[in-house]
A and B are shown apart, each in its own frame.
Chain A
Amino acid sequence: MKRYYSSVILVLLIIVSIGTYYFYRSTDRLPEFKLVAVKGDQKEADGIELSGNYGARMRSEIVNVTTEGSEYSSRQSMYEQEIKNARSWFYQHSDMRKLVKEHRDFMRGKTDPDSFYMDKEWIIYAAVSQSPANIEKPETEIRVQVLNVKTGREDQFATIISEQTPYHNAQVVDVQRYDNELQILTSAMSGTEFSTKFRKYVLDLSNGHLIRNEELPYKFIDREGVRYSHNVISHEVSSAPGNYVLLAVREEKVTVDRNQSYSSQPIADHFFAYSYKTGKLIEIPESWTAASLNSHQQYNLNGNRLSVLTYGSANISVSGYDLDTLQEAYKRTSYTAAQLGAVSIGSAYMSGNRVIILLHQNDKPMMAVNDKPMIAVIDATKGALLYQGEVVVDGPASEAEEHMKHLRLYNLTPRI
């Protein structure tokens, strides 16, 4: 046995040294945090996730905090980081998660949430492409895959559509179904006018034949010194049936300096609601979106109701409008940061009727030490404050202050 000492020592060195190292790494001694209720029902915050970093180490640690506790990205295994969290941007959409879970084979290779339509009977996916090489005879190809949920039958068809003018960079922005009509709204760059065009292709769902090919009456064409950028806001759940989409157009003044570098300054915002039923583009009254240029503004489309969430550092407001009647759907609600027990508002988003707000105890939370982030949940339709919560250290009180000093939470997202 004595003659084998060198080999035994080498093996023991490997086991003890590497074993001790990975055991030590598994107990990282990072503090735990938790979102707890100060006022209201804790369940209101169950779907909320705060993220940021904990900076007491040489390299700050990315941390997510929920009502259940904290999760550091460094604690995730390689499989979780690289494989489970791959395409996390896609799985952020609750409807996409449900579709992948229930119709895994149908969902293969399909990754654009705006290209889906789903109701109790049908799941539809549409993709669009052009033939840019053939300028003489421009064509658009629409490929549709259909799953009948009740029968489990899958169908697919491709429809080639001859166009008057060439388009490129086409993409599907929304898909809707009305009886046997499949309505596919697309945006594309016009090859002749160098501006964005919105087209709606109406296909027969049973055979894929083209019924109508319409260009939306939308006339914002880039001109010298002025540029238009576009954003399409579809239903809050992108695959859900709906009668409207919102088109947001930002008008920007473009200047070119001596070094030929471009800079732009927003001049105005224009908003339109497109109705699938009537085929009309309705201009949204300016009073609904007046503050869009000077503060953060988010739009939430739910059925025929458009909610407009506006916030700055000091205050937040939410208004609701009925797109069928162009009247107020619910009264405007407004809160200041002070009314919510904080110094500044960091960010906010809408989920159904709820407005979820991230609050800070400092004007500059990214720079501040000891920020103590807070959460408030408001019912937009009633204006009531439903929940107030704060992030606390889930551990010994003696260490709490020191750990809170190094915590910065600045992202607010729905929990996956």
Chain B
Amino acid sequence: MNRYLKLLHMEIHRFRYILAGLMAITAAVQIGVIIRTLVREVAKRKEDILNHQSIDVGSALFPSGKLSFASTMFGIQFWFALPILLSIAVLGLYIFLIWYRDWFGRHTFVYRLLLLPTARRNIYLAKATAILAFILGMLAFQLLLLPVENVIFNLIVPAEMREASYFADVIAANQALPFLLPQNFDQFVFSYGLGFSAVLAVFTAILLERSYRRLGILYAILYLIACAAAVIILPVSNQTYFNPSAYLYPEEFFMIEMVIFALVVASSVWLGFRLLAKKITV
């Protein structure tokens, strides 16, 4: 356990600058676009008041016409989502780099890693946990950033021009956030569990390639196809929960899919451990 935690810390430590960089970019872009949007909007509204023009023109979603943090989020969809998409892309790329940097780095770090006096499965588990920690860490940072952005909103917009927003409305206002932060916790666990099982399947595919090199690429592709086929076999055979004439009841479909996911995760982890312990040599 101690060795695993040390390896996990090492993986986090190695990614710290990139993670901090992604957080800094996210904060800078989102806060920047909020300040720019609000300064312009407040100035325009003040000008309208001076010109005796009506400013409180509401919309279907924001009937009062006053400025709210939710309405501001609604108005900056692209720029708000841009750093989120960048972070997703970087983390997606790092799922591969977390392994390949050990082989292709300046000093072949993997030699030292594999010769550590600990079970090799700890390396696999540490890398998998690190990826999960990076994803959830970025998500947690985004959640922390929202109240800060709300404070900035309150500092820029005069009290008579603004109205309070529900936090749920702020999340719903931006198209990217409801995907990242589902409304219900079970949806959160399901979505991120699904994503994490895909990460584990990719890890095993990478280890297949590292174990068998050129032939390993074929094995890796076949393994990923097998995993995807196992997951989609029921929906493809029209046994989905929304097909009214399906033989399976919805709860049975759900249970079978959960078992399939568990098998994909178990087989990925087992094969990953085995490849790392028996096939990869230095």
Contact = CB atoms under 8 A, between A and B. Distances in A.
Contacts of A104: 249
A17 B144 contact: yes
B139 to A, nearest CB: 7
B93 interface: no
Given A13-B140, A16-B140, A109-B245, 18 more contacts: A3-B9, A10-B133, A14-B139, A17-B139, A17-B141, A18-B143, A18-B188, A21-B143, A57-B169, A58-B166, A58-B172, A59-B61, A77-B186, A86-B242, A90-B244, A100-B249, A108-B247, A111-B244
B179 interface: no
A108 to B, nearest CB: 5
A83 interface: yes
A289 B66 CA distance: 53
B183 A74 contact: yes
B195 interface: no
Nearest to A24: B167
Given A10-B12, A79-B254, A83-B254, A109 B187 contact: no
Interface residues of A, number: 39
Interface in A45-80: 57-59, 74, 76-79
Interface in B206-261: 241-242, 244-251, 253-254
Interface of B is mostly: helix
Interface string A21-32: 110111011000
A82 interface: yes
Contact of B168 (A57, A84, A86, A109): A57
20 contacts: A7-B9, A7-B13, A10-B19, A14-B140, A20-B143, A21-B143, A28-B168, A29-B166, A57-B168, A58-B61, A58-B166, A78-B187, A79-B254, A83-B251, A83-B253, A83-B254, A86-B242, A87-B242, A109-B247, A110-B245
B123 interface: no
Contacts of B25: none
Nearest to A16: B140
B173 interface: yes
Best-surrounded residue of B169, B181, B250 (most CB of chain A within 10 A): B250
Interface string A84-117: 1011001000000000100010001111000000
Contacts of B183: 25, 74
Contacts of B188: 18, 22
Contact of B143 (A17, A59, A79, A83): A17
Given A10-B12, A78-B190, A83 B250 contact: yes
Interface string A179-209: 0000000000000000000000000000000
A11 interface: yes
A63 to B, nearest CB: 15
A6 B144 CA distance: 17
Contacts of A100: 249
Contacts of A58: 61-62, 70, 165-166, 169, 172-173
A59 B165 CA distance: 12
A262 interface: no
B244 A22 contact: no
B31 interface: no
Contacts of A77: 184, 186-187
A25 B184 CA distance: 8
Contacts of B187: 77-78
Contacts of A109: 245-247
B76 to A, nearest CB: 15
Interface residues on B, range: 35 or more
A10 B136 CA distance: 9
A84 B251 contact: yes
Contacts of A29: 166
Contact of B245 (A18, A76, A111): A111
Contacts of B13: 6-7
Nearest to B12: A7
Interface of B: 8-9, 12-13, 16, 19, 61-62, 70, 133, 136-137, 139-141, 143-144, 165-169, 172-173, 181-188, 190, 241-242, 244-251, 253-254
Contacts of B247: 108-109
Contacts of B165: 58
Nearest to A4: B9
Given A7-B13, A18-B143, A86-B250, A59 B136 contact: no
Given A59-B169, A77-B186, A10 B251 contact: no
B173 A86 contact: no
A139 to B, nearest CB: 22
Given A6-B12, A78-B182, A109-B245, A13 B61 contact: no
B44 to A, nearest CB: 22
B168 A6 contact: no
Contacts of A13: 137, 140-141, 144
Contacts of B186: 77-79
Contacts of A108: 247-249
Nearest to A11: B133
A79 B16 CA distance: 37
B251 A6 contact: no
A104 B137 CA distance: 45
B181 A21 contact: yes
B240 to A, nearest CB: 9
Contacts of B8: 7
A40 B13 CA distance: 70
B190 to A, nearest CB: 6
A59 B172 contact: yes
A73 to B, nearest CB: 10
Interface in A154-196: none
Contacts of A25: 168, 183-185
A247 to B, nearest CB: 25
Nearest to A12: B140
A13 B241 CA distance: 37
A183 B8 CA distance: 71
B185 to A, nearest CB: 5
A18 B70 CA distance: 20
A24 B147 CA distance: 13
A111 B247 CA distance: 10
The 7 nearest A-B residue pairs measured at CB: A17-B140, A58-B169, A111-B244, A78-B187, A86-B250, A7-B9, A14-B136
